[in-house]
A and B are shown apart, each in its own frame.
Chain A
Amino acid sequence: MSVATRFGPYGGRFVPETVIGALDELTEAYERHRDDPGFRAELAGLLDRYVGRPTPLYRARRLEAAWGVGCLLFKREDLCHTGAHKINNALGQVLLARRMGKGRIIAETGAGQHGVATATASALLGMECCVYMGRVDMARQRLNVIRMRMLGAEVRPVDSGSATLKDATSEAIRDWVTNVGTTHYVIGSAVGPAPYPEIVAELQSVIGDEARAQSLADLGRLPGTVVACVGGGSNAIGTFRAFLPDAEVDLIGVEAGGEGLTGRHGASLALGRPGVLHGSYSYLLQDPAGQVAEAHSVSAGLDYPGVGPEHSHLRDTGRVRYMNVTDAEALDAFSRCSREEGIIPALETAHALALIAREGGALSARGPVLVCLSGRGDKDVDQAAAALGIDA
């Protein structure tokens, strides 16, 4: 089956001509390998024994009580090797790159989780790895910078623009344009030119496939509501896809509300207009002249003015509801989850939790609420401690 390139009107390949050949090559390779039993077995074996899949579906009973939710389920992607769902995609893409004969891997990273996952997969599979990261993000996610370097990756600081994820992505694309013959670009979210959004969504759909089966096995029913945070939207699309045909399941994506929607934020789907950034047509925060706006979020992983094209389509069709929570709400949920459940979530993930803290009682009327616990928060402890006034 050919790889999807459009989601409704969204998606496409809006990139310099130089990389079109490489996108064709990637499309062809992915179509050939994704159904190849050898590739599937190699990836499945690594997901099983290296990543630690399947990840558990855990019932968070103390937060149920705190937030007035009848049944709250965490899909524990934080328990994946390297601490977030990003490894599902990174391993698949680096395996594919090796089969394509590329020896060099590049990636962009915001929170550093995708950079760490790509550096990990590159170390495991013997590939050279270079990760672009905004200077601002390097400061707020210092731990992950050290991890990437320990794993043998080169971390290249990006100073242009807002020195965050948007600028790191631009710089990674420029590297790819320059070194396209030898290099595979591992995009970390369900964004970018086709075929990336589809490849990332398929590699991440293991989350929702497992969660759906686990819900049926554990509860004998589907959840009433499924919640995930959305920056570019890879954990969300990976979680939602399995539930898209289940019309009775309410799907909610949670964007970064930042300081609130009248201030600085990262809520592309709430307040953006469709436009082109990083190779695809999708909702985008921009000024009236089309200059891309700087996003803001306390979470580096959600600090992005664009969003994956499939989310834009799901927003327009209404199949997924997109809501947002503020930095302050996310920090509060971060704190509550840590204290009530003994799980320190990533600040990105804390956005999904904050939505449940706020709306959980109402959501609960539909039945169990399942949230993708997309990553753990070790990387965020310095920043969160400062925000929450916790001393060492």
Chain B
Amino acid sequence: MPDGAARLERAFTAAGRPVFMPYVMGGYPDLAASVRHARILGRHAAVIELGVPFSDPLADGPTIQAAGQRALAAGTTPDDVLGVAAELRDGPPIAVMTYYNTVLARGADAFLARAADAGVAGLIIPDLPVDEAGPVRAIAHQRGVALVALAAPTTGEERLEEIGRHAEGFVYCVAVTGVTGGEVAVDDRLTGFLARARARIRVPLAVGFGVRTPEQAVAIGRHADGVVIASELIRRIDEAPDPAAADAEVAAFGAAVDRALTASA
């Protein structure tokens, strides 16, 4: 298995246009469905973000919180989600999104060993900022898993440079000052932030938080290498009357986003 960082970088750059990185929560609405949704989305995506449900997700708005509560209530464990990743290893590279306590509870070494075994390319830990990440980064390196840094519109110049120095795979740029599930505005503040990030970060930039429509994805894609859509996908799964309808909805939405991004290139 090639190095996770290299696989992720290639996934964002190979198409020569901005690509789609959909978010799927492991175990939501159940484990089998999350595998199915990720496979369907994999046809339209360059990278899959696979979320691990957590009891206290500080960076997430109500939609992902509720999905996580439902996955936890059904008994989903971090190991189950890494099992989902293993099932998806033949598709696009997987970046696992997990809160730090999940990694700590297992032990970073054991968690990363299991993630590497499952073929996971990258790890996104939204509550592990760059200055606290050293020990986990070292272990991730040994396992060939990229520790994906996050940057936000509020991140200052010096920190952007520090993030750039450590960046591998891609950098997850948070599009809004806020939690997931809001509404992004593609304005001067966001494009200015992405320009600042681009100037200081060598690896691809994926942008997420508050992106809901193919049109927003296209607008953001003009300033980024990848676009993440999370809460909107979960909302569509929530509203589907049955699993077949959810699968169809996921397929149609994934295709629409991918088509829009392709057409914009």
A15 adjacent to B127 (CB under 8 Å): yes
Instruction: Give the contact stretch, choosing among A90-98, A169-177, A255-263, A339-347.
Output: A169-177
Task: Tell me, rounded to whole Å, the shortest Cβ–Cβ distance linking A181 to chain B.
Answer: 7
Instruction: Give the contact stretch, choosing among B36-44, B86-94, B101-109, B137-145.
Output: B101-109
CA distance A289 to B174 in the complex (A): 27
The answer to the question of A101 belonging to the interface, with a C-beta cut-off of 8 Å to chain B, is: no
Known pairs A290-B106, A291-B72; A14 contacts B152 (CB<8 A): no
Known pairs A17-B151, A178-B179; A290 contacts B129 (CB<8 A): no
B156 adjacent to A21 (CB under 8 Å): yes
The answer to the question of A143 belonging to the interface, with a C-beta cut-off of 8 Å to chain B, is: no
CA distance A20 to B160 in the complex (A): 12
A179: which B residues are within 8 A, CB to CB?
177
A308: which B residues are within 8 A, CB to CB?
none
The answer to the question of A19 belonging to the interface, with a C-beta cut-off of 8 Å to chain B, is: yes
Instruction: Give the contact stretch, choosing among A63-71, A111-119, A274-282, A329-337.
Output: A274-282
Q: Which of B55, B72, B105, B178 has the most CB of A within 10 A?
A: B55
Interface range for A? 35 or more
B159 adjacent to A20 (CB under 8 Å): yes
A291: which B residues are within 8 A, CB to CB?
54-55, 72
A16 adjacent to B105 (CB under 8 Å): no
Which of B102, B131, B150, B178 is A290 in contact with, Cβ under 8 Å? B102
Instruction: Give the contact stretch, choosing among B56-64, B115-123, B232-240.
Output: B56-64
CB closest residue in chain B, given A281: B104
A13 adjacent to B152 (CB under 8 Å): no
Task: Tell me, rounded to whole Å, the shortest Cβ–Cβ distance linking A98 to chain B.
Answer: 21
A174 adjacent to B105 (CB under 8 Å): no
Contacting residues of chain A (140-197) with chain B, CB-CB under 8 angstroms: 160-161, 166-167, 170, 173-174, 177-181
- Residues of B at the A interface (CB closer than 8 Å) are 54-56, 58-59, 61, 65, 69, 72, 77-79, 99-106, 126-132, 150-156, 159, 174, 177-179, 182
- Residues of A at the B interface (CB closer than 8 Å) are 12-22, 24, 160-161, 166-167, 170, 173-174, 177-181, 273-279, 281, 284, 286, 288-292
